[in-house]
Amino acid sequence: MRIDNLQYANWSEKIFRQMREGGVDAVHVTIAYHETFRETVLNFEQWNRWFEQYPDLIIKGQWASDVDRAKAEGKTAIFFGFQNPSPIEDDIGLVEIVHTLGARFMQLTYNNQSLLATGCYEAEDTGITRMGKQVIKEMNRVGLVVDMSHSADRSTIEAADISERPIAITHANPYDWSPALRNKKDDVIRAVTENGGMLGFSVYPHHLKDKSDCTLESFCEMIARTAEKFGPQHLGIGTDLCQDQPDSVVEWMRVGRWSKEIDYGEGSAAAPGFPPMPTWFNDNRDFGNIEAGLRTTGLNDAEVAGIMGDNWHRFYAESFTPTN
């Protein structure tokens, strides 16, 4: 089973076919960055059209059983998530509504301070807010996973402790391997995994050691070392693949509506666009490279299978259903 727990590609029939060529059984798709509720609904509408147009390639994923169905039918199950709480605006009642529509993951922040928590680019991390505590409780109730991929350290640790259900960092790498603001320090990873949560490893070059020149060996060895520290059962893949996106999308991702100036984030003023991908992972057809690389690190077959998809499948089964 192969599950990629984070992509934000410029979706097309070509990419859907590449998913099938790569044997990818499920993908968690970012369906909102800075969109309001109504704008997010339009994105759900667009995906409904794609499900109608390409029923032989993709199906809507809502439950872990949909991954099994997709695998059996030779299709890819598409699960939806938000990289920002903007789709719930300032209304806790929308948490249940977006889950009903099909959302299964929601980041509490995207780099900046939100109504719920502090993002990883803020100078001061004040932790989970009053509203954040209530929203986490409601997310736990309905089966919407707390995602802290772009959140600051204290906020992430507090979220892991406050949440009554395991949380996720869907796409990031260890800070001590590649010290990017978005990567996670050991105490953060420990808080998430000790509470039963998941870490998805990213191949986005700004998160990699040596960036676009990162080797497959370095990436897979990092995963093996992380498995030794925190347990292989808590690890998966979340590539953060942004395939075929124009560079203007980077500006939308980083800037949204909050600034009139361009925020270059993890890039540089000279190169604000998407960096080149490492040679061993350009698109969904390359998942076999990661699997083969993991097999050379000393991880056993069950551990490799877990990281490639079984762990996310188990997490889906435990996380998406309401508690009442």
Alpha-carbon gap, residue 91 to 183, rounded angstroms: 30
CA distance 4 to 70: 14
Give the pLDDT score at 202. 98
Q: What is the pLDDT of residue 244?
A: 81
Provide the pLDDT for residue 17: 98
What pLDDT, on a 0 to 100 scale, did the predictor assign at position 269? 45
Q: Looking only at Cα atoms, what is the longest distance across the chain?
A: 52
pTM: 0.95
Phi/psi for 29 (5° steps) reads -105, 130
d(CA 307, CA 301): 10
Which segments in the chain show pLDDT lower than 70? Answer: 264-272
pLDDT at residue 271, as a whole number: 53
141, burial (CB in 10 Å: exposed 0-12, middle 13-18, buried 19+): middle
Among the listed residues 128, 126, 169, 129, the one whose alpha carbon sits nearest the alpha carbon of residue 145 = 169
Question: Which of 169, 167, 8, 1 has the alpha carbon at shortest distance from 77?
Answer: 1
pLDDT number for residue 265 = 61
**Residue that the structure tokens 């960096």 belong to:** 275
Please tell me the predicted confidence (pLDDT) of residue 146.
98
The topology under which CATH files domain 3-319 is TIM Barrel (3.20.20)
- CA separation (Å) from 285 to 16, 66, 151? 11, 21, 30
To the nearest 10 degrees (0 to 180), the angle between helices 311-319 and 64-73 is 130
Q: Are 263 and 193 in contact (CB under 8 A)?
A: no
Domain ranges of the chain: 3-319
> What pLDDT is attached to residue 266?
56
Q: What is the pLDDT of residue 243?
A: 87
What confidence score (pLDDT) does residue 261 get? 82
Closest CA to 29 of 83, 79, 95: 79
Q: 219: which residues sit within 8 A by CB, 6+ positions away?
A: 201, 203, 208, 209, 278, 290, 293
Of 129, 147, 188, 143, nearest in space to 31 by CA:
147
End-to-end CA distance of the chain: 30
262-291: burial string, b at 16+ Cβ within 10 Å, e else: ebebbbeeeebebbebbebbebbbbbebbb
User: pLDDT value at position 264?
Assistant: 62
**CB burial class (10 A; 0-12, 13-18, 19+) of residue 300?**
exposed
